[in-house]
Structures are given as structure tokens and as C-alpha cells.
A and B are shown apart, each in its own frame.
Chain A
């Protein structure tokens, strides 16, 4: 690079050296996107798709779409053992997500069919009912934190359904997920008993499901056989944990951030209310535009990517929220386009590890947004209350206080799961 570009190169290197996916600078809009866009623009102008961060003991950061895609698509040189960095508090490698071949594909085949479109469609009715019951809990008030009372509960209720568990245990899942992902990093001693409680609960549930199978996903997975092979007890425990850790928080952030955007983007809201059939495509654009997940890998063979030599054993972080705004893949990347053609975002991964819950979350987010917008058409952010963007390996809006025109309840019936959530959401 010639001298004229030296300051640019230095800026890119500096930005990389300070990159910390657990604590990106939050801008005046309450999100880290001003920072992500700058990181993208500087690193692209300096032609540095890969750089070295000094944080957490040092790791590679990849910001471009092409390089992220090629690394995720190369399980030979990059191990999934490094998906989560720094590690969460689970004693075993996360099933599927942190496994490599051949163990990964063996497990994936045994659970995969349960997550195909026909099977996840069975849950659409229950999700719709849960959304309406949750909305009945606040629709007469004219104000609510829909981060707490829609975005957080729905994925936990869905996970309970998948595992054949009572929906009123949903708030427990929320506490356990937080313990494994955020609390463990800040205060491992306080998190430990909660994690132990989670494992004990899953043990009990698996034992119960073996005796009394239901039509839930866990029961299907317990009885799934391929050429006489089935999942071991330990693997079933791992499967339960990955559903919790891999399924709930991501989904809550996607839904929370979408509701936050709809609260101020009147134009987008108007179009989706007029054309609910566009919500499916909008969900994929929400996934691209505010990608909830960042994923990691560990280098297994020395390899050169984007001009940098990565050494065996080093940690790599793929900055998916940045790569999904790469103008070389997405024209006008900072425009939210419902009808974006060829929206091949990486928010659900790609290749053999691509998200197991991909069909489920698209259906779930579509049902939540469709039902929500069918009843609350006019709303805005409550400027007297703060929003809250959660950073970490999973990111997005968690507090979305809104005010709206109050409306009538649909029903006086309320499921036990919903009551538990209404109580849980009233915590500070």
C-alpha cells in the first residue's frame, strides 16, 4: 500500500485492535450500528477484510461477507469448537454448534427432520395463541415494554413446547440462559447454582419423556433412529441445552429489535400492515439488517485469509452484523428493503452448521409480527423510558417501551404460561 493510504491502514488496524463484540460502542440511536458501519467502511477502504483484536487475549476479526462465507464454508481448516468466545458456562461442548465432523453430522441428521417446515408449522397455532394472550395482558393499558412482554416470552414459550415442557416454566429458561451466557462471564460463582439447576431439570425432563413420549420435538428426537443409531442420554442433555442457548436469546433479540424499528419507522409499519404477506420477506431483511448472532471458529490448519496468516489454535470471530452490511454483496446495504432481491445474508449461518432453527424462527417471527400488527397499528417509542441494546455474542434490543392506542382484550382466558410471564415481566 502506498503512503497516501498509510493513515487509512493505521486506522483500520487500530479499529481491529480495539474490536470487542461483547462491548461495541453504542451510538445515539441506542444501537452499535454507527460503529459497525464505520468499521466496515474503514476496513473496506483499506482493503483489510481481516484484522487482529487485542481484546480477550487476542483473536482474528473478519468483517467482509466473502471472507466470512469462505471461513464458515471451510470446516476443514476452521473448527466449530470456537463458536462461542469467550466460552459460555456449559460443561460439555454445545451439541451440534460446537461439534466437528463426523460427530456433528451424525447428531444433525438425528434431529434435523424435526425442524423442517412441515414439522415446525405444527407450532404456528400455539404461537399465535400465546401472542394474543400476552397482548391481552397489556392491550387495555396503552403502554407496555414489548421487549419484556412479547420478544422475551415467545421464544421461551416455543422452546417449552418443543421440549414438551409446561409453558409456565418459560421464565426459568430465561434466567438459565442469562446465567449461561451473560452472568457466567461477569460473576461465575452466582451463575453456577442456576446452571446446576438447569441440568437437573433437563435430566428429569428427559427421563419423563422416555417414559411418556408426546408429540413434541424432544420425544421425536429421543426415538429418532438412523441405521439403528440414536442419541445417547448425554447427547439428549446437550440437545436440551443447545435449544435453550441457541434458540431463545437470538430469537428474542430478532423480535425485540423488529418491534423497536416498527415503533419509529412509520413507513415500514404502514407497508407491513397494508401487506402482511410481505412480513415473510421483511423477517429476512430484519435478520440481515440487525443480525442477532456473531459466530466464532478455531483455526485447525495454518491458513491465509484476506492477506493474513492465521495460525493453528487461534480464535477467529466472524463479525456477521458487519458482513451482512457489505456493499459488495448487498447493494445499498444500509437501506432496509423489504423486497431486497437475493438476500443471502449470513444471519443464520451457512454450510453444514447453518441454523437448525432457521425454518422455525422465520415462521415464529412472521406469526408474532403479523398478529401484533393486526391489533396494535398505531404505536411509538415511549420517550420517557430507556431502550436497552444488549451486546454480546447475541445482540439486539431487549427493552422496547411503547405507547399505543389502547384496545379491547380478545379473551378472558389466559394460559398458565402467559400468567407466569406477565409476572416475570413486571420485575424491575
Chain B
């Protein structure tokens, strides 16, 4: 079970264990991490599970598809390393993954 580290906009850290194959979003919701709303439940419809995946982690996920890329641009604070966490499956190589949360999903 890889450990994931969520850091909210205020700098608070939350360490969460994720199952292999689970999405980063599901791990956050199961651990009740504030700031990941995930209204649509992982269907890439709502853009309320947005987060920043800095180096070196960004490269360790498959690149976003067209739907996700288009949605990321329209989040309230998009960055180069923005991702929708429902599209990020956790694998063994994600031990210690750091996920930074935006100030708001809206």
C-alpha cells in the first residue's frame, strides 16, 4: 500500500495509504481529505478533484487525454502540473507521491 502525501493550500499535510490500482481521488475521498470533492465520482465530468502533481511525480503517470486537458485549462487556477486526480491510478512506483491541493475547486 503506497503512502500518498496530500498538502492543502494552507500547508497542512495528510498522509494516506492507497491501494494499488485505486485512483488518487478515491484514496483521498476514502481518507476524507478536505479539498478533493469529486462530485462526479471519477467520470471526468466535474473537475472538482483538481490537484498539482509536481516533479518528479508528474512524469510517472500517463499523460492526460484530450478531455482531461481541456477541463484542466478551465479550472480556477490551472498550472503546468495540474491533473484531475480521478485520472491517476496508483502503482507501486508512487510510494511517497506528493499531491498539492488548490485553494478551491470552484
Residues of chain A at the chain B interface (Cβ within 8 Å): 73, 108-109, 112-113, 116-119, 121, 280, 341-342, 344, 348-352, 354-355, 358-359, 362-363
Contacts and interface: CB of A to CB of B under 8 A. Distances in A.
Contacts of B32: 341-342
Given A352-B43, A359-B106, A118 B37 contact: no
A354 B74 contact: no
Interface of B: 29, 32, 34, 37, 39-41, 43, 45-48, 67, 70-71, 73-76, 78, 104-106
Given A109-B67, A117-B47, A118-B73, A280 B40 contact: no
B37 A116 contact: no
23 contacts: A73-B41, A109-B67, A112-B71, A113-B71, A117-B47, A117-B75, A117-B105, A117-B106, A118-B75, A118-B78, A280-B104, A341-B34, A348-B39, A350-B41, A351-B41, A351-B43, A352-B41, A354-B39, A354-B40, A354-B45, A355-B39, A358-B46, A358-B48
A352 B77 CA distance: 23
B106 A113 contact: no
Q: Which of A108, A348, A358 has the most CB atoms of chain B within a 10 A radius of its CB?
A: A358
A341 B35 CA distance: 10
Secondary structure at chain A's binding surface: helix, strand, loop or mixed?
helix
Contact of A119 (B67, B74, B78): B74
A113 B40 contact: no
A118 B39 contact: no
Q: Give the 3 A-B CB pairs with smallest separation, nearest first.
A: A116-B74, A117-B76, A118-B74
A17 B43 CA distance: 36
Contacts of B39: 348-350, 354-355, 358
Contacts of A112: 45, 71
Contacts of A118: 73-76, 78
B34 A116 contact: no
A340 B106 CA distance: 17
Given A73-B41, A116-B47, A351-B43, A121 B76 contact: yes
